[in-house]
Structure 1
Amino acid sequence: MTTVSTRSAGRFQDRTVLVTGAGSGIGRATALAFAAEGAHVVVAGRRPGPPADTVALIEEAGGKALAVTADVSRPGAAAALVEAAVDRFGSLDVAVNNAGVFRGGQPLADLPEEDWHTQLAVNVTGVHLALQAQIRRMRTQPSGGAIVNVSSTFGAHATSPGAAAYSATKAAVTALSRGAALDHIRDGVRINVVSPGATATTMSLRAGETEADRAERARATLPLGRVSATEEVAAAILYLASGEAASLVGTDLVVDSGGSL
């Protein structure tokens, strides 16, 4: 089980951070990392169980967190998440839009229409609605806020057979983020992107592949010789959200073991 140890002070001490898709994988690692640096974390996910488990890990280590069940593709869900964060902790200082789905594995011509619409709704419309709700709150705050959207190397940087539709949605996330960054930096809202490559999550496993199989494939195909750890992606997200990255606006930070070189 992943654990977290809180510290008495950190880069995000007493800041309110919202993380979507935080019930597992990159989202959970990110929520734990923010909590370890003193943040109050709102943990969002489509099903109630996984976010509650993430919150339990944070609270066991002495941190503060709130679990909220939300489908980001639904109208009103993003605004409700922002409201929940502000009601509980008083502000929204950082938002990480990590929720995403992959439907693919077959050529584009054979992709069911429902799978296209699902990916578009969650990966693109969900981020669009989240950005609107988060920016509308952050621009009213004297301190503004920071937003990090989680895209993918599939999209603006690379693609793979069976991932055309997914790649299109993630390329849209990158473009949407860059445009929003330009629109709202003068409002005090700083927006950036992290694009993970193959990471130690179930999404990077091919059909019928075990973690050992994936490790062997990574040794042969990735320049670094391994997939990225979820904690490494989380570290990139925290950097972009922090004051250390104050001059980064619309940046797309690739974390992919060299896979898209």
Structure 2
Amino acid sequence: MTSDTSSLIRYAMVTGAGSGIGRACAQALMGAGYRVALVGRRAEALEQTAQSHPGRGVVMAADVARPEAVAALFERVRVEFGRLDLLFNNAGMSAPAVPIDELSFEQWQAVVDVNLSGSFLCAQAAFKLMKTQSPRGGRIINNGSISAHAPRPNSAPYTATKHAITGLTKSLALDGRAHGIACGQIDIGNALTDMAYKMTQGVPQANGQIAVEPTMDVRHVAEALLHMAALPLSANVLNMTVMATSMPFVGRG
């Protein structure tokens, strides 16, 4: 037995790591022994995420919607980490909740650029690295959201991109087989983050009413992600839904 544990270190990237679900998952991965590339547009917020586990997180500010920024990001990962074992495609945004005929094309495009194109660009770069690294392979987990199944009122851009993420996940899972790359999706419902706080105050429902919705602790999302990440590459969770038990998702109305 050797005392060298360097081969046991695993390397991950979390996009949107500066707040909410991304921060919780990045901190859980760091706590589990990963070195984590913390990706987002706000370096200061990423620094705050890194503070929970000194030496485990590496701040890598980048806009995942820009191809040149993603290329530079993954080159830095290759140089500093040498490999990537896990990519959590989490970065996302939504458009104002207005009727579709009042939505500007620019608002639509901004959501598509981050949620869909950003996930594609990062997955594409991860494939390139994971196919050539030694040992070969790795895992990609996409944040699909409950909106990958059903919309909220006035959410066409966000819902359309999250439905598209499901197609991306399945394509990556298929295309990754030959290269030891597993891909799965975690669909999250009402994790209590700053962004989801409005759920506790009341949000529009399909029947036109405003209602308070149940929420869950974001740590349950992080625990679910850790479970998916800990599987050997011979096993994969293709899709997992983690949601507040009583949120208005399953059932009518």
Q: TM-score range by the shorter chain?
A: 0.7 to 0.9
State the percentage of identical aligned residues.
36
1:55–1:66 Cα contact (<8 Å) kept: yes
Partner of 1:131: 123
Matched, 1:14 2:20: no
Contact kept? 1:104, 1:165, Cα under 8 Å? no
What's the CA shift for 1:24? Answer: 0.8
Q: Helix, strand or coil: the match of 2:53?
A: helix
The answer as to 2:61 corresponding to 1:43 is no
Superposed displacement of residue 111, structure 1: 1.3
For normalisation by structure 1, the TM-score amounts to 0.83
Across the two proteins, how many residue pairs are aligned to each other?
235
1:138 shift after superposition? 0.4
Write out aligned runs for 1:92-107 (5 A).
92-107=84-99
Q: Whose strand proportion is higher, 1 or 2? A: 2
Aligned to 1:112: 104
1:246, distance to aligned residue in structure 2 (A):
4.1
Match status 1:31 vs 2:26: yes
Give the equivalent residue in structure 2 for 1:7.
Answer: none
Is the CA contact 1:18–1:42 (under 8 Å) kept in the aligned structure 2?
Answer: yes
Change (3 A) 1:138 1:244: closer
Question: Cα deviations across residues 142-191 of structure 1 (Å, max 9, x unaligned)?
Answer: 24101111111113x11111112210011111111111110112211101
Corresponding residue for residue 145 of structure 1: 138
Alpha-carbon separation, structure 1, partners of 2:156 and 2:197? 17
Q: Contact 1:16–1:85 (CA<8 Å) still a contact in 2?
A: no
Inter-CA distance 143–228: structure 2 relative to 1 (3 Å threshold): farther
Structure 1 range deviating more: 238-247 or 122-131: 238-247
Q: Secondary structure at the match of 1:43?
A: strand
CA contact (8 A) 2:90 2:142 kept: yes
Question: 1:183-216: CA deviations, max 9, x gaps?
Answer: 112211101011111111233244xx7x5x369x
Task: Report the 3-state secondary structure (helix = DSSP H, G, I; strand = E; otherwise coil) of the residue aligned with 2:195.
Answer: helix
Deviation at 1:58, TM superposition (A): 1.6
Q: Which moved more, 1:135-144 or 1:190-199?
A: 135-144
Contact 2:185 2:240 in 1 (8 A): yes
Query: Equivalent of 2:239, from 252, 256, 259?
Result: 252
Letter in 1 for 2:235: S
C-alpha spacing 1:134/1:244, structure 2 compared with 1 (3 Å): closer
Kindly provide the amino acid, as one letter, of the partner of residue 230 in structure 2: S
2 CA distance for matches of 1:197 and 1:148?
Answer: 16
Q: 1:204 to 1:246 in 2, by over 3 A?
A: farther
Query: How far apart, CA to CA, are the structure 2 residues paired with 1:244 and 1:257?
Result: 28
User: Equivalent of 1:241, from 229, 235, 251?
Assistant: 229
Out of 165, 171, 182, the residue aligned to residue 174 of structure 2 is 182
Provide the C-alpha distance between the structure 1 equivalents of 2:9 and 2:151, rounded to a whole number of angstroms: 39
Runs of at least 5 residues in structure 1 that lack an aligned partner in the other structure? 1-11
Which residue of the other structure, out of 183, 189, 194, is the alignment partner of 2:186? 194
After the TM superposition, list the runs of 4 or more consecutive aligned residues in structure 1 that deviate by more than 6 angstroms.
Answer: none
Matched, 1:229 2:222: no
Amino acid at match of 1:49: E
Match of 2:158? 166
User: How far has the Cα of 1:244 moved from its partner?
Assistant: 5.7
Q: Deviations over 1:35-73 (max 9, x none)?
A: 1111111101111110111112220xxx42210110000
**How has the CA–CA distance of structure 1 residues 13 and 36 changed in structure 2, closer, same or farther, with 3 Å as cutoff?**
farther
Residues of 2 paired with 1:246 and 1:106: CA distance? Answer: 44
Contact 2:145–2:187 (8 Å) recurs in 1 = yes
Deviation at 1:79, TM superposition (A): 2.4
